[in-house]
Structure 1
Amino acid sequence: MTPIRWRGAVAGDAQALSILGGATFLASFAHDHPGDALLAHVRSAHSESFYQAAIADPSQLLLIGETPLSAPVGYAMLTPPDLPVDCDGRHDVEVKRFYLLGGWQGGGHADMLMDLLAAESRNRGARRMLLAVYPQNERARRFYARHGFEEIGETVFMVGETPFRDLVYARNL
């Protein structure tokens, strides 16, 4: 399998992250999300300006994964927690996004990315990682369980006017 090089995203990565974010979101949710709302969500939540602002914010971390030829194939986002569960902003972090293109799923790439996020979380003084996951995404739920995440609540994720139920998971560090 082609290796992935993980690194912190920089300002010049906003366009690549926008394209990658939109592509992975569509690949993950097009099967059961309404098309117009899905596309509108991708245009706003995965815009270049969104990623430029996130990269510039020192409270957030974006990791981008690239092939040896510098093609973007995965990314993850670590942010202050913004979930409807009991959180401690000083000791909790949220894995806001965690995606790999289909051809790079499996082979340990996601494991490596999760290990990098856990190490960075510890470096930031976090004691717990939080994330939201779509209940119908069994593969992701199994992956997170393998990495010590447990369900602690739920939230609603809006795509346009359509609400989707997400599960909130936590992992102690």
Structure 2
Amino acid sequence: MTWRLRRATPGDSPALSLVASAAFLDAYASVLNGADIIGHCARNNSHAVFETWLSDPQTVVTLAEYEPGHAPIGYTVLTSPDFPIDTDAADIELRRIYTLKQFHGGGVGQGLLREACDDARAGGHTRMLLGVWAKNSRARRFYERAGFEVVGSRSFAVGDTLYEDPVYALRL
């Protein structure tokens, strides 16, 4: 399997929106209500959401593409932290890191995380934060193997259901 990573540009919002919704559906179709998934994706994975991130100089979006053909298969979003824990200017949030399930185990997720850490360091950040669904044991193991540790929790709503998710941190 051949893939590449590149910095996303404003023209990439349709590809990012597509892979974001596909990955969210793929990850949560067996555990969340279908209407909640659709509503969540419409609000959080729209072209407009990605266009806002892509136009923000403080946000870094990286796109993973399958080679050949450049089909979107994953992405990350690094942005200002939004957590109910103490943060400072040295912190950055890995708001999103998703890879389509068929590409799990092929190094794409590790490549995206490595690139995000490099981008965070280049921006002068010394701590990366992320939130993850408490029952997503595969993702939690991935982050823990990379050195992330739980430093708090946050409430996260999908539809009418409120989840209490751990917040992880990694010293860069």
Q: TM-score range by the shorter chain?
A: over 0.9
Could you say what secondary structure the match of 2:2 adopts? coil
For residue 34 of structure 1, report the CA deviation from its aligned partner: 1.6
Residue equivalent to 1:37:
36
Tell me if structure 1 keeps the 8 A contact 2:4–2:65: yes
For structure 1, list consecutive stretches of 5 or more residues without a partner in the other structure.
none
Residue equivalent to 2:91:
92
Could you say what secondary structure the match of 2:38 adopts? helix
Equivalent residue runs for 1:102-141 within 5 Å: 102-141=101-140
Partners in 2 of 1:22 and 1:108 — Cα distance? 21
TM-score when scaled to structure 1? 0.96
Partners in 2 of 1:139 and 1:28 — Cα distance? 11
Equivalent residue runs for 1:4-43 within 5 Å: 4-43=3-42
Residue equivalent to 1:167:
166
Partners in 1 of 2:106 and 2:42 — Cα distance? 31
TM-score when scaled to structure 2? 0.97
For residue 22 of structure 1, report the CA deviation from its aligned partner: 0.5
Count the aligned residue pairs.
171
For structure 2, list consecutive stretches of 5 or more residues without a partner in the other structure.
none
Q: Percent identity?
A: 39
What RMSD in Å do the two structures reach over aligned CA positions? Answer: 0.9
* 1:72 paired to 2:72: yes
Partners in 2 of 1:19 and 1:127 — Cα distance? 31
Residue equivalent to 2:81:
81
Partners in 1 of 2:28 and 2:106 — Cα distance? 23
